[in-house]
Amino acid sequence: MRVSRIIAFVGTWLYATFTVATVVTDQSAIVNGQTFDFVIAGAGLAGLTVANKLSAQNYSTLVIEAGPDGSWNNAVKYAGSISYPPTFCNRNYPQYDEKGHKLPKSIHAGGCIGGSTSINGMLWYRPTRAEIDRLETLGSPGWNWDTLEPLMEAIERNIPPNEEQILQGASYDPNVHGYHGVVNTSFPELCDCTKGLSQKHSLG
């Protein structure tokens, strides 16, 4: 049986996922002389999802990405950076009005492994049933809530709020979450800011 693999060029980096190990290297020679069943341009959410599905079926897959590997960066690993995404993997797209005038607002889009999912906005949400069902009415048979909602649950691995988070107001419906997927979701750890302020005042 052929070893399935995902390999992604990320600028000067080479990101490789094998069935037995994951390797990040800057040696592009690792693929010299090799052929692949599929080549995917872009290691964002869609590209890596497709590559994962293909490699699971023992197809050799090459994923090419222009940006770096940002998994080491705290701005990617920790929450709250939607307004200040890490500059090393941010493709900042300016916005224009209907007359061509540049607007002060830009759209942040990830330019690294993981794509825009690397911009952690502390959000996990789905479109409404009406929005998803509209896809089918616009000409995409099978793209409706009943077929897509189970898939959205399948990718989620939800960690329910603990007692302290619930006491602080975290609301939670266990019937609308998945628990065995690959994307971890949870409420953030609470920060007792008043404790720090009281300590500051006690010091004068």
pLDDT tens digits, residue range 23-82?
556 667 777 887 888 888 888 888 888 888 888 888 888 888 888 877 777 766 665 555
- Domain map of the chain by residue range? 5-65
Residue 47's Cβ-side half-sphere holds a number of Cα atoms within 13 Å equal to 25
Q: Is the pTM of this model over 0.75?
A: no
Beta strands 183-185 and 156-158 are parallel
> End-to-end distance of the chain based on CA atoms, in angstroms?
70
Query: In the predicted model, is pLDDT for residue 132 greater than 70?
Result: yes
**Which residues are 60's β-sheet partners?**
5
Concatenated DSSP letters of 36-99: -SEEEE--SHHHHHHHHHHHHTT-EEEEEESS---TT-HHHHSS--SSS--GGGEEEEEEE-TT
DSSP 174: G
Distance CA 4, CA 6 (A): 7
